[in-house]
Amino acid sequence: MMLGKVLVAGTFVTTLALTANLSAGTPTGVCCFIDGACVITDAGSCTSGGGDYLGDGTNCGDEDCYYTPATAINYQGQLAQAGVPVDDICEATFTLWDAEAGGTQLGSAVTVTDLNVVDGVFSTALDFGMAAFAGRERWLEISVGCPAGSSLTTLSPRQPLLAAPYAIMAAGSNQLFQVFDPSGFPRVQLEAGVDYETGAFDGGLLVTHSSGAQVELGGDGIWIQDPAEEDIFGLWNEGSQVGMFMRHPNGSEGLSAQPGTVIVRAPSGPGFAGLFIQPDGRGRVQADDIFISGDLHVGGLKNFRIPNPNDPSTDLVYTCPEGPEAAVYVRGTAKLESGRAVISFPDHFASIIDATSITVHLTPHSVDSIGLAAIERSEQGFVAADREGGTYEFDYRVMAVRKGYENYKVVRPARGRNVSTVEVPE
């Protein structure tokens, strides 16, 4: 079974299934389709399937199935003489012009020597060629003589051929199909044979909005341009690369050009953020700064990694402290005077802590310390005292729960993953 294609209103649709199991002795020949496909079948199957049968005994190697579209238009008019509808066989010459008066003639004149006019009405086919119709307004000039063979009289004024939306199949050029708006601007174009990088396609579809924005579909991908002809979105396939491109109106760009790579560029300057799959299979996020407005959940450790200044062949990898609460801390060094010191928290620390959760750890610098303790605590600070009234320095570390996270839950239902053991990379 072989499939054929038929072009209906500018869209290729598969419509035919030709069966190769023909009865013995059934004459066969070439069946041509609009897309150039050549199938050997019988005349009945070809015709019913929308093909053009070229005759018994023909074969695809000898016949050309290239489709040359018709360019003729059907014109219907009315003809009267001295106010009386004409009823005669007349002769007429039709010419196409680019202006209502004067202007340039387009294409060759079409002469009809046997124009049948019945009760003042006539209809005839006019073929001015493909180049005559580029979407602009056109006027038809008619010279007529009745009966046929008599001298011709040029009728005035010229008759307009209104530039309502129409479609044209153009043979022998890269513009295979076009749809024009009433002003003559091509809104939809089917193109072929031109490389995209030079401004067109290797074969594809171009749709233009009245604002100037365009959507282009070609063999190398899909591109959307804004009215300023700047690419704002693209999907492409070039060689072994499959990529995606996006540009925000503020100038920022998103790009995915290599397998496992996503890059976002800033509107200006060198800033960018990227997601990468490294050769060893591990993922990497790279950016100057990363801002996360919600919670960050990780299955492994939260590390910072830097080159080892003492051994360039290794890295230093430190991990973050972890615990069952959303804790913050502040630390420092202070000095007891006559056994007492008042420590005030920084404003930023005081503003984010739950005062009821404060814990204070003290480390004296003196071996003579006896009974060093934090005897008063509040969201503003704490008071350290020594039972013997000593004078010496000490270190402190204050921990507290972050305000708003007092009910932090450690055990939660599994979400967004299969419940399994998570292996932590080195």
Same domain, yes or no: 198 and 147:
no
Give the Cα separation of 227 and 209 in Å (integer). Answer: 9
Picking from 109, 137, 163, the residue at the C-terminal end of a domain is 163
Residues 208 and 254 in one domain: no
Q: Are 248 and 264 in contact (CB under 8 A)?
A: no
Residue in 286, 254, 258, 259 with CA at minimum distance from that of residue 273 = 286
The reply to whether 120 and 194 lie within a common domain is: no
Which pLDDT score is estimated for 24?
Answer: 63
Yes or no: say if 30 and 58 are a contact pair by the CB < 8 Å rule: yes
Same domain for 195 and 258? Answer: no
Which pLDDT score, from 0 to 100, does residue 258 have? Answer: 61
Number of folded domains that form the chain? 5
- pLDDT value of residue 48: 81
Q: Residue 214: inside a domain, yes or no?
A: yes
Of 148, 163, 178, the last residue of a domain is 163
Q: Judge whether 125 lies within some domain.
A: yes
Q: Is 62 within the bounds of a domain? A: no
User: Do 47 and 92 sit in the same domain of this protein?
Assistant: no
In a domain, 374, yes or no: yes
Same domain, 157 and 79: yes
Q: Does 67 reside within a domain?
A: no
Q: Write down the pLDDT at residue 19.
A: 40
Q: Is 371 left (phi over 0), alpha (psi -120 to 50) or beta?
A: left
The list of the chain residues with pLDDT below 50 reads 1-21, 163-173, 193-201, 419-426
Q: Vertex 130, ends 129 and 134: CA angle to 5°? A: 125
Residue 344 maps to a domain: yes
The pLDDT of residue 298 is 80
User: What pLDDT does 265 receive?
Assistant: 67
Whether residue 256 is contained in a domain is answered as yes
* pTM recorded for the entire structure: 0.44
Q: Which pLDDT score is estimated for 322?
A: 87
Q: What is the pLDDT of residues 277-309, one digit of tens each?
A: 777 777 777 776 777 777 877 878 888 888 999
* Range of the structural domain that residue 41 is part of: 2-56
Q: What is the reported pLDDT for 224?
A: 77
Helix H, strand E, coil C: the string for the chain is CEEEEEEECCEEEEEEEECCCCCCCCCCEEEECCCCCEEEECHHHHHHCCCEEEEECCCCCCCCCCCCCCCCEEEEEECEECCEECCEEEEEEEEEECCCCCCCEEEEEEEEEEEEEECCEEEEEECCCHHHCCCCCEEEEEEEECCCCCCCEECCCCEEECCCCCEEECCCCCEEEEEECCCCCEEEEEEECCCHHHCCCCEEEEEECCCCCEEEEECCEEEEECCCCCEEEEEEEECCEEEEEEECCCCCEEEECCCCEEEEECCCCCCEEEEEECCCCCEEEEECCCCCCCCCCCCCCCEEEEECCCCCCCEEEEECCCCCCCEEEEEEEEECECCEEEEECCHHHHCCECHHHCEEEEEECCCCCCCCEEEEEECCEEEEECCCCCCCEEEEEEEEEECCCCCCCCCCCCCCCCCCCCCCCC
Same domain, 157 and 81: yes
Residue 64 lies in a domain: no
